[in-house]
């Protein structure tokens, strides 16, 4: 079979069969070639004609690059329209790590051009290392035009470097508003994902609110980005501009905060660690909520340096915590007037007296009072802060009832404020204790709680709210955003006489035979009412609370309102480890003095600041330099402040504004500023000689202990 096949095949192959095969096969090949040609033509027709629209679009999206122009952020204004947070024009240089093949070299070149020091370039390299890569990292901002231009001309040698002309956030009063306002910073990868990968967030130079009000009002402040359509090459080089749409600045947010008061209170806290809240009793407007020590939000917004952050993080006075909202302290005696309201509500008559024999027996135990007060009625119990009275009546009406009133007065409550977080603390009562510790309420719990100790924990904001509610008898709600409408508050069921009685007793604390005589305001016609408080931090066996290690000293507290008979302002001051209420009420006194007479307030502050070594801002800068020097790092000198427009929210500005009418009109015709910085600086300079020039009446009687 095989043999036959072979023979057969051999027979077939001849010149003719080969020629025929050749013809057939070349014909096949020719057909295949032609077929492929038709196929290619059809394919091309399909791509170029049927799918033309799609590919034209893709070609356009290749060619045209839409780059966003970050919108200018809306201003945060104080109640008078002066900026607490604003923007200033800024030349900046960014670097995009993904597009930089050799970051070390590039940063070295930039360091040279921009005259950065080693510390700063180390920071930049670290940030480049930490960044997700796609996101631009700021190398330096606040550059001079010359430096900006020098970088711009060297761009071909600096791949990934982006010089920008933009705006940077500016907080004129720096640390005074740090906790209140927060700061801004570039969005991180999580925020980018959360906000649906909004391309604006990764636009170089765009910063979002990172904390506090900046974060809360982010959407109001953001504005609408502008857009620049440019033709770009594949490598991203811009060939030409096509069209540009301007950005729309974000809306300003007007706060209830009184800028100068906020600054004053922050500065008046001085070297202490503490907080001060002042509210308007009629509207609930929070006029100031200062928490010190603080950080400079300008540093954060420019990308805080590693050394500066370490300094803040390692400080035992926790400058990174907003103590107004997140500091919790036993309220101590400051709750006593509020407890009296609870007693009144329970039917206790103000005239009812008990005898304080240096303490009082409750149940089968004797509890000490801090002094021997003899016969004590409600008024004396308040102004002399007699503990025995509260042991007795709290036991009599039951602490449940007292706790109910504590909540009504704002303790243990959260308020509808635009803040990132607030701690609500603890108002102890039997049900709470059972739930928390699975233990029954004991008489000694009532005793401890009745004088604001034990499990009681409150924030300074709550104390201020309590004070406002106590003073007015209204359920005053604090607010931070200014609106035109005047809020209506529910009135507690107290007679004017009852309210008047407590007001008088609290006024006597300050102006009468009470515990805070030195808190008297330096005015004849305005009397401040208040209540001191001291909260023990550790047991008396460890420290007496007044001296010794800072950590063991008592907290000093003071709640107040003024004028006492027609309360307009109410507030609270809490000084951590101040060694008693004596550290707190002088601050309240000076803050309220400043409220009614800025010049007098400044007179009190100036010598203190001289003694402390400058304003809060100056001290923070000094501290940073000292810290950096200790860490062996060089720190650039603090830049000069040359923008006087921002002085409007500094405490001094209020003094200038309250000069005699004629000058004041000239100096500051409107709180909403429409003038240029130049004009303002001329105006304020002409209006101010009285303040720094005149010799202040030094030495107020009570320097902080």
Partner 1 sequence: MSGIVPDPIARQPWRMLFPLFVLIGFGALVLFSAAGGSWEPYASSHVIRFLVFLPMAFVISMFSRELAQFFAFPVYIVIIVMLMAVEAIGFVGGGSQRWLDLGFMQLQPSELMKPGLVLVLARFYANLPIGLIPTWRSVVPAAALIGAPVALVLLQPDLGTSLALAFGGAVVMFVAGLPLRWFLAAGAAAAVLAPIAFFFGLQPYQQRRVFTFLDPESDPLGDGYHITQSKIAIGSGGLSGKGFNEGSQSHLNYLPEPQTDFIFSTMAEEWGFIGGLVVIAAFAMILGWGLKTARESQDRFGKLLATGMTATIFFYVAINLMMVMGLAPVVGIPLPFMSHGGSSMMTNMICIGSLMMVARWNRRAPRTGLIS
Query: Which of 36, 242, 630, 631 is the binder for partner 1 (CB under 8 A)?
Result: 36
Of 652, 453, 618, give the one whose Cα is nearest residue 540. Answer: 453
Query: Which of 45, 487, 517, 689 is the binder for partner 1 (CB under 8 A)?
Result: 45
Contact 261, 591 (CB under 8 A): yes
Among 8-16, 199-207, 368-376, 594-602, the segment contacting partner 1 (CB under 8 A):
8-16
Of 172, 302, 175, give the one whose Cα is nearest residue 641. Answer: 172
In 10 A of CB 202, how many CB atoms? 18
Query: Which of 2, 3, 18, 428 is the binder for partner 1 (CB under 8 A)?
Result: 18
Nearest approach, Cβ of residue 47 and partner 1 (Å): 5
Q: Does 35 bind partner 1 (CB under 8 A)?
A: no
Fill in the DSSP letter of residue 335.
G
Nearest approach, Cβ of residue 132 and partner 1 (Å): 17
Query: Which of 1, 2, 7, 22 is the binder for partner 1 (CB under 8 A)?
Result: 22
Nearest approach, Cβ of residue 8 and partner 1 (Å): 10
List binders of partner 1 among 583-622 (CB under 8 A). none
Contact 85, 93 (CB under 8 A): no
Say whether the peptide bond before residue 563 is cis (omega within 30 degrees of 0): yes
Residue 251 to residue 219: CA distance in whole angstroms: 9
Q: Does 133 bind partner 1 (CB under 8 A)?
A: no
Q: Does 43 bind partner 1 (CB under 8 A)?
A: yes
Handedness of CA 262, 265, 268, 271 (dihedral sign): negative
Q: Does 629 bind partner 1 (CB under 8 A)?
A: no
- β-bridge partners, 280: 569
Nearest approach, Cβ of residue 3 and partner 1 (Å): 14
Distances (CA, A) of 332 to 160, 410, 449, 580: 59, 16, 9, 10
Say how far residue 102 (Cα) sits from the centre of its chain: 37
Q: Does 544 bind partner 1 (CB under 8 A)?
A: no
Among 37-45, 130-138, 140-148, 571-579, the segment contacting partner 1 (CB under 8 A):
37-45
Among 32-40, 485-493, 508-516, 659-667, the segment contacting partner 1 (CB under 8 A):
32-40
Of 532, 640, 630, give the one whose Cα is nearest residue 581. Answer: 532
Q: Does 37 bind partner 1 (CB under 8 A)?
A: yes
Q: Does 134 bind partner 1 (CB under 8 A)?
A: no
Print the binding letters for residues 216-255 with partner 1: x by CB under 8 A, - otherwise: ---------------xxxxx---x----------------
Question: Which tokens belong to 113?
Answer: 């051009």
Query: Which of 2, 3, 4, 25 is the binder for partner 1 (CB under 8 A)?
Result: 25
Query: Which of 2, 3, 15, 486 is the binder for partner 1 (CB under 8 A)?
Result: 15
Q: Which is nearer to partner 1, 44 or 629 (CB)?
A: 44
Contact 624, 313 (CB under 8 A): no
Q: Does 626 bind partner 1 (CB under 8 A)?
A: no
Q: Which is nearer to partner 1, 39 or 629 (CB)?
A: 39
Residue 617 to residue 672: CA distance in whole angstroms: 25
Contact 426, 432 (CB under 8 A): yes
Nearest approach, Cβ of residue 24 and partner 1 (Å): 9
What is the C-alpha end-to-end distance of the chain, expressed in Å? 123
Residue 73 to residue 261: CA distance in whole angstroms: 24
Nearest approach, Cβ of residue 52 and partner 1 (Å): 4
Q: Which is nearer to partner 1, 57 or 542 (CB)?
A: 57
Nearest approach, Cβ of residue 233 and partner 1 (Å): 4
SS3 of residue 202 by DSSP:
helix
Nearest approach, Cβ of residue 625 and partner 1 (Å): 47
Q: Which is nearer to partner 1, 52 or 611 (CB)?
A: 52
Contact 648, 259 (CB under 8 A): yes
Residue 510 to residue 499: CA distance in whole angstroms: 17
Say whether the peptide bond before residue 293 is cis (omega within 30 degrees of 0): yes
Q: Which is nearer to partner 1, 15 or 674 (CB)?
A: 15
Q: Does 21 bind partner 1 (CB under 8 A)?
A: yes
Any idea which residue has 């009470």 for tokens?
514
Query: Which of 44, 149, 431, 630 is the binder for partner 1 (CB under 8 A)?
Result: 44
Q: Taking each helix axis from N to C terminus, what angle separates 306-314 and 616-630, rounded to the nearest 10 degrees?
A: 110
Number of residues binding to partner 1, judged by CB under 8 A: 41
Q: Which is nearer to partner 1, 56 or 194 (CB)?
A: 56
Query: Which of 1, 3, 49, 701 is the binder for partner 1 (CB under 8 A)?
Result: 49
Query: What string of DSSP letters covers 500-533?
Result: HHHHHHHHHHHHSSSS-GGG--S-SS---EEEEE
Pairing of strands 253-254, 76-77: parallel
Nearest approach, Cβ of residue 131 and partner 1 (Å): 20
Q: Which is nearer to partner 1, 234 or 662 (CB)?
A: 234
Say whether the peptide bond before residue 149 is cis (omega within 30 degrees of 0): no
Among 20-28, 166-174, 207-215, 450-458, the segment contacting partner 1 (CB under 8 A):
20-28
Burial class (CB in 10 A: 0-12, 13-18, 19+), 38: exposed
Nearest approach, Cβ of residue 31 and partner 1 (Å): 10
Among 50-58, 454-462, 553-561, 572-580, the segment contacting partner 1 (CB under 8 A):
50-58
Query: Which of 2, 4, 7, 10 is the binder for partner 1 (CB under 8 A)?
Result: 10
Print the binding letters for residues 61-100 with partner 1: x by CB under 8 A, - otherwise: -xx-------------------------------------
Nearest approach, Cβ of residue 207 and partner 1 (Å): 28
Query: Which of 1, 3, 9, 496 is the binder for partner 1 (CB under 8 A)?
Result: 9
Of 304, 294, 213, 290, give the one whose Cα is nearest residue 253. Answer: 213
Q: Does 132 bind partner 1 (CB under 8 A)?
A: no
Among 57-65, 134-142, 309-317, 665-673, the segment contacting partner 1 (CB under 8 A):
57-65
Q: Which is nearer to partner 1, 49 or 701 (CB)?
A: 49
Nearest approach, Cβ of residue 155 and partner 1 (Å): 18
Residue 326 to residue 458: CA distance in whole angstroms: 9
Report H helices in 46-102. Answer: 52-63
Q: Which is nearer to partner 1, 36 or 631 (CB)?
A: 36
SS3 track for 543-594:
CCCCCCCHHHCCEEEEEEEECCCCCCEEEEEEEECCCCHHHCHHHHHHHHHH
Fill in the DSSP letter of residue 433.
H
Query: Which of 41, 108, 153, 431 is the binder for partner 1 (CB under 8 A)?
Result: 41
Identify the helix (H) or strand (E) that includes residue 407.
Answer: helix 399-408
Rg of the chain (C-alpha set): 36
Nearest approach, Cβ of residue 158 and partner 1 (Å): 20
In 10 A of CB 235, how many CB atoms? 7
Residues that bind partner 1 (CB under 8 A): 9-10, 13-15, 17-18, 21-23, 25-26, 29-30, 33-34, 36-37, 40-41, 43-45, 47-49, 51-52, 54-56, 58-59, 62-63, 231-235, 239
């Amino acid at each position: 079979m095989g043999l036959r096949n072979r023979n057969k095949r051999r027979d077939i192959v001849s010149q003719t069969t080969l020629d025929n095969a050749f013809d057939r096969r070349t014909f096949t090949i020719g057909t295949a070639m032609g077929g492929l040609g038709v196929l290619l033509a059809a394919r091309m027709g399909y791509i170029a004609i049927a799918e033309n629209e799609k590919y034209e679009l893709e070609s356009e999206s290749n060619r045209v690059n839409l780059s966003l122009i970050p919108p200018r952020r809306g201003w945060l204004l104080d109640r008078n329209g002066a900026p607490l947070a604003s923007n200033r024009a800024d030349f900046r240089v960014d670097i995009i790590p993904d597009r930089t093949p050799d970051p070390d070299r590039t940063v070295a070149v930039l360091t040279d051009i921009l005259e950065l020091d080693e510390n700063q370039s180390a920071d930049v390299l670290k940030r480049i290392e930490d960044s997700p890569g796609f996101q631009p990292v700021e190398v330096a901002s606040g550059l001079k035009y010359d430096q900006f231009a020098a970088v711009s001309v060297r761009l071909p040698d600096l791949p990934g470097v982006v010089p920008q002309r933009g705006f940077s956030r500016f907080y004129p009063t720096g640390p005074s508003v740090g906790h209140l306002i927060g700061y801004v910073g570039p969005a991180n990868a999580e925020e980018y994902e959360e906000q649906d990968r909004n391309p604006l967030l990764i636009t170089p130079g765009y910063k979002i609110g990172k904390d506090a009000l900046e974060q809360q009002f982010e959407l109001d402040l953001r504005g609408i980005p502008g857009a620049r359509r440019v033709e770009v090459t594949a490598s991203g080089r811009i060939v030409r501009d096509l069209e540009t749409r301007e950005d729309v600045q974000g809306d300003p947010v007007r706060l209830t905060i009184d800028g100068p008061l906020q600054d004053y209170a922050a500065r008046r806290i001085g070297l202490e660690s503490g907080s001060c809240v002042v509210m308007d009793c009629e509207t609930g407007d929070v006029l100031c909520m200062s928490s010190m020590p603080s950080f400079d939000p300008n540093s954060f917004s420019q990308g805080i340096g590693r050394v500066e952050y370490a300094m803040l993080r390692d400080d035992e006075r926790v400058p990174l915590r907003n103590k107004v909202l997140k500091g919790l302290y036993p309220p101590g005696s400051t709750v006593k007037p509020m407890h009296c309201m609870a007693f009144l509500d329970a039917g206790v008559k103000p005239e009812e007296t008990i005898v304080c024999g240096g303490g009082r027996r409750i149940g089968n135990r004797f509890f000490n009072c801090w002094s021997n007060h003899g016969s004590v009625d409600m008024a004396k119990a308040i102004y002399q802060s007699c503990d025995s009275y509260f042991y007795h009546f709290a036991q009599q009406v039951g602490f449940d009832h007292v706790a109910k009133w504590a909540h009504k007065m704002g303790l243990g409550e959260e308020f509808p404020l635009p803040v990132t977080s607030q701690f609500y603390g603890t108002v102890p009562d039997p049900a709470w204790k059972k739930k928390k510790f699975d233990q029954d309420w004991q008489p000694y719990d009532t005793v401890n709680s009745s004088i604001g100790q034990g499990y009681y924990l409150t924030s300074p904001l709550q104390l201020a709210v309590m004070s406002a509610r106590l003073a007015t008898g209204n359920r005053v709600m604090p607010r931070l955003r200014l609106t035109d409408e005047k809020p209506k508050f529910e009135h507690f069921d107290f007679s004017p006489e009852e309210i008047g009685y407590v007001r008088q007793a609290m006024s006597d604390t300050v102006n009468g035979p009470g515990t805070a005589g030195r808190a008297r305001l330096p005015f004849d016609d305005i009397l401040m009412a208040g209540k001191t408080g001291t909260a023990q931090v550790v047991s008396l066996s460890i420290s007496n609370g007044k001296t010794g290690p800072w950590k063991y000293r008592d907290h000093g507290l003071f709640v107040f309102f003024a004028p006492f008979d027609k309360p307009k302002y109410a507030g609270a001051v809490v000084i951590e480890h101040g060694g008693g209420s004596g550290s707190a009420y002088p601050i309240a006194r000076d803050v309220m003095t400043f409220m009614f007479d800025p010049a007098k307030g400044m007179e009190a502050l100036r010598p203190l600041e001289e003694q402390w070594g400058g304003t809060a801002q100056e001290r923070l800068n000094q501290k940073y330099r000292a810290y950096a020097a200790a860490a062996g790092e060089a720190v650039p000198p603090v830049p000069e402040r040359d923008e006087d427009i921002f002085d409007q929210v500094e405490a001094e500005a209020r003094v200038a504004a309250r000069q005699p009418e004629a000058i004041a009109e000239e100096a500051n015709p409107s709180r909403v500023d429409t003038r240029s910085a130049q004009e303002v600086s001329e105006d304020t300079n002409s209006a101010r000689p009285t303040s720094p020039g005149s010799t202040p009446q030094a030495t107020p009687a009570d320097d902080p202990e």
